[in-house]
Amino acid sequence: MKDIMGMMKAASEMKGKMEAMQAELAELVVEGRSGGGMVVVALSGKGDVRGIKIDPSLLKPEDAEMVEDLIVAAFTDAKGKSEAEMQRRMQDVTAGLPIPPGMKFPF
């Protein structure tokens, strides 16, 4: 019975940590870069686009397709960084709690 009470307490503590982490992630901004930094996409920790910066030298009509590709690449870079940071923070929150492999948070 003590194991169940311990797990309930740990789950309650984890819930509080998860809520705090989610608030932090909403404020977190990561930047993805492409084209040697000529295109920068800023995302929140939740994956919302916060901004895009494009070097003015890329704004030529004949370079439109290349700029579009660079934006996609910068977005992908930022999203990967955001997801990696979320995973790192989740490991901090769930450390010590027996969670089944493959279970992802937040639910």
Q: Model pTM?
A: 0.60
Q: Which CATH superfamily is domain 28-94 in?
A: Nucleoid-associated protein YbaB-like domain (3.30.1310.10)
Burial 66-93, CB ≥16 within 10 A → b, else e: ebeebbebbbebbbebbeeebeebbeeb
pLDDT, tens digit, for every residue of 45-68? 778 888 899 999 988 989 889 998
pLDDT, tens digit, for every residue of 5-47? 877 887 788 788 888 877 887 788 889 999 999 999 998 877 8
Encoding tokens for residue 42?
A: 């800023």
Domain ranges, ordered by start, for the chain: 28-94
